[in-house]
Structure 1
Amino acid sequence: MSTFLELGVSKPYISALKELGIKFPTDIQEKTIPVLLNSKTDFIGLAQTGTGKTVAFGIPALNSIDATKPVIQALILAPTRELAQQIKKQLFKFTKHIESKIFVEGVYGGEKIEKQIYALKRTTHVVVATPGRLIDLIERGEINLKHISTLILDEADEMLSMGFKQDLNRILKYTKGEKNTWLFSATMPEEIKKIIKTYMASNAVKVEVNKNDLVNANITHQFIKTEVKDKVNLLIKLLETRDSDRGIIFCRTKAGTQNLTKTLKEEGFSVEALEGDMQQRERDKVMRAFKKGTLQVLISTDVSARGIDVNNLGFIIHHQLPEKLEYYTHRSGRTARAGKRGYSIALIIPSELQRIHEIQKELNIKFIEITS
């Protein structure tokens, strides 16, 4: 196992990482940091959420900033406001001990655009943005991206599946010029391959965290055979046995999410829904309670769970199996973060057994059948 010093990270950054409890590099950090610190290259990183990507791209991005130039030199795109806020916070913490002052701003929806325009008038070196809000600022002529030397797409597959394809293409066209593009994604759908082909150099360095780690090795995958009418009682049993753990229950639809939340609340469980029609204020309130631990279980659709990053989640329950394989990867990756163990439990009806075999084969994981 390497140390951050051996990877070429300078001492002030190492001190900041230590204070954050990050002492040894993860697999993606070990493979990424030396490349990005030492060469000007386009880069593709295939890695799950929760593998330590923010450190992997954040330290090299900060390291490349010339703090004496009061212009935006790095742009980081993320799919959700939560993730953008989190990256901004992390970058700020990484710079705690460095001599020069690097300024990071966040631009995302759910906050007054005027406030962000005002903030951008100050010296800004790094911008962390969601695609929609960034396009707004570009159209208003309020952000200058002419001097960017690094463009980072984090969770690129999530951005596409959330419908940001056009926005991404516009941003990539707009930031053409002498820059390096670093793309991170948990999966490689066709659309991502197209972006790589169109906007990135053909000799881009590609790093893949061990395929078997793509779905975290610390997750125990289980399934329970049941019937649709018995799912609620089964969930009640499962939650009762895990009353000291926090977790997320995934439903396929918004209506399913709402109904299940109502039922489980009536049964006295500490649950809240996360769904598409929520006001940002409501969503923030639910997420704060969940992060603090005053709320035990979130019930969410795949889209609403984007960008959630909560440590110490004990379990994920699939009320229904997801439609897309990559959603299984994303869902499961919410548990067992930062070296902890976690459980991913699928409630399936007998006709879905074939799907379990497909997921096992495709993702190279092993399911254990449990009986309720």
Structure 2
Amino acid sequence: MSNFQELGIPADLIQGLEELGILTPTEVQAKTIPFLMENGGDLVAQAQTGTGKTAAFGLPLLTKIDPKRKEIQGLVIAPTRELAKQIGKQLFRFTKHCSAKTFVEVVSGGDKIDRQIAALQRPTHIVVATPGRLVELVNQKALSLDAVKHLVLDEADEMLSMGFKKELSLILGFTRQRLSTWLFSATFPQSIQQLVKDCMSAHPHSIAVDRRHVVNRDIDHRFAVCPRDEKAEFIAGFLKRRGEDRGLIFCRTKAGAITLGKLLQKEGLPVDVLQGDLTQPERDKVMRSFKKGRFRVLIATDVAARGIDVDALAFVIHHQPPDQLEYYTHRSGRTARAGKKGISITLIEPRERPKIARIENELGVDFSEMR
């Protein structure tokens, strides 16, 4: 199917998509939307960040909401505050030209709960939430999930890896009356397979996105063989040559991100670090400064970077190759957005050359070596 009309999306939602420059369905949208529009039953979708998941579940969800009923009918759970807000913003944009308004509220940890409680007093049709804050609000009887018909679990693997198993179990109990559960996950370890068994019918509809169709073709993929103790020097030289270009550097661990940040700051380079030990106010301050251009380069761990939505990034640097291919897609997809070109550079030690070959073979990309 070549357009959203053929997928069954109403004209007023399509108008909102067109204003966002979303004209052609991605693979996950083409596979998911027809099933959810026609059937709407339980769905398991294997899809990485950057594949268009929000529209894949968001558009069908919006069509299933009755705006006349002033109660929460749809619930979307996301692992991080940033991703939850990003989803809420997209759902709002999709409905810009709808005559009957669907009201979406985002509730997440790190924001003042009293403001969220006050906002929930207004008519709300869809709630987008992080697990911990949603459980807190339910326990305070600040909202009712009794009318929820459709539950979306986005980036379910990340939620479990971040320790939200107990909260997810409670949320599934809060929404026993739901008609369907739609689960999206980049990977399917045993914990996700068990979650599917716990919350879905015996045979949910399943789809998977071909890894080779995920990576943005506007990205120039490069690698450099670099001993561990020379990586900071390599990165510093690259950043000095890039002038005012903005970018992201991914490190595998919090300690590694902090150490690299200190080394580059000693070189007088405008960088800052985003890692999991920051409080929410500290994290917000770093992100505001980055978005406003007060520093050019953000260093982050994979988990800390979930949900970051920053345009016009010229490059991404992988301080170490990621352990999972999905993380490479997620990381490199931060550049080359909105039709622009971008560079993804992976630093490897000599023994890690097979990792580059694996990424090339399984994701269908070509690397050039930097010397």
TM-score under structure 2 normalisation? 0.92
Give the count of matched residue pairs: 371
Q: Which moved more, 1:113-122 or 1:343-352?
A: 343-352
Q: Structure 2 CA distance, aligned partners of 1:17 and 1:317?
A: 31
1:274 aligns with 2:277: no
The answer as to 2:367 corresponding to 1:371 is no
1:312, distance to aligned residue in structure 2 (A) = 3.3
Corresponding letter in the other structure for 1:88:
G
Q: Measure the CA separation in 2 of the matches of 1:96 and 1:159.
A: 30
> Which residue of 2 is the match for residue 150 of structure 1?
150
Alignment-mate amino acid for residue 157 of structure 2: D
Q: Give runs of aligned pairs for residues 159-308 of structure 1, distance below 5 A.
A: 159-308=159-308
| 1: CA distance, partners of 2:360 / 2:19 | 39
Aligned to 1:72: 72
Deviation at 1:48, TM superposition (A): 1.8
1:2 — aligned with what?
Answer: 2
Does the 8 Å contact 1:51/1:337 carry over to 2?
no
State the Cα deviation string for residues 210-268 of structure 1 (Å, max 9, x = none): 23124445444332112122111111222234334322111222222122212212323
Deviation at 1:293, TM superposition (A): 4.2
Opposite residue 328 of structure 2, the aligned amino acid is Y
- Distance in 2 between residues matched to 1:28 and 1:324, nearest whole Å: 20
Matches of residues 13-32 of structure 1 in structure 2 within 5 Å?
A: 13-32=13-32
Q: What are structure 1's unaligned runs of at least 5 residues?
A: none
Question: Using the alignment, how far apart are the partners of 1:212 and 1:305 within structure 2?
Answer: 23
Shift of 1:337: 4.1
- For 1:289 and 1:22, locate their aligned partners in 2 and report how far apart those are by CA, in whole Å: 29
Identify unmatched segments of 5+ residues in structure 2: none
Asked whether the equivalents of residues 105 and 119 of structure 1 are also in contact (C-alpha less than 8 Å), the reply is yes
Following TM superposition, the consecutive aligned residue runs of length 4 or more in structure 1 with deviations greater than 6 angstroms are none
Q: CA deviation at 1:194?
A: 1.4
**SS at 2:76 equivalent:** strand
Q: Distance in 2 between matches of 1:352 and 1:218?
A: 25
Tell me the amino acid that sits aligned with residue 345 of structure 1.
I
Q: For the residues of structure 2 that align with 1:28 and 1:304, how far apart are their CA atoms?
A: 25
Match of 1:312, as an amino acid?
Answer: A
* TM-superposed deviation, 1:338: 5.1
Structure-2 change in CA distance of 1:241 and 1:79 (3 Å): same
C-alpha displacement at 1:31, in angstroms? 1.9
| Equivalent residues of 2:50, 2:330 under 8 A apart | no
Identity over the aligned pairs, expressed in percent? 53
Give yes or no for contact 1:219–1:341 (8 Å, CA) kept in 2: yes
Deviations 1:161-182 (A, max 9, x none): 2121221122123212242111
Q: Secondary structure at the match of 2:6?
A: helix
What CA distance in whole angstroms lies between the structure 2 residues aligned with 1:7 and 1:323? 36
Q: Work out the CA distance in 2 between the residues paired with 1:193 and 1:220.
A: 35
Farther-moved stretch of structure 1 (111-120 vs 20-29): 20-29
Q: Is the 8 A contact 1:50 1:337 kept in 2?
A: no
Matching residue of 1:309:
309
Deviation of the 1:286 alpha carbon: 2.2
Q: TM-score scaled to structure 1, two decimals?
A: 0.92
CA distance in 2, matches of 1:335, 1:189: 28
CA distance in 2, matches of 1:348, 1:237: 17
Q: Decide whether the 8 Å contact of 2:151 with 2:178 is kept in 1.
A: no
1: CA distance between counterparts of 2:163 and 2:58?
Answer: 25
In the alignment, the residues of structure 2 paired with residue 184 and residue 264 of structure 1 have an alpha-carbon distance, to the nearest angstrom, of 37
Deviations 1:126-158 (Å, cap 9, x if unpaired)? 000000101111222222111111100111122
What is the CA-CA distance between 1:295 and the residue it aligns to? 3.0
Give the 3-state SS of the residue equivalent to 1:245 in structure 2.
coil
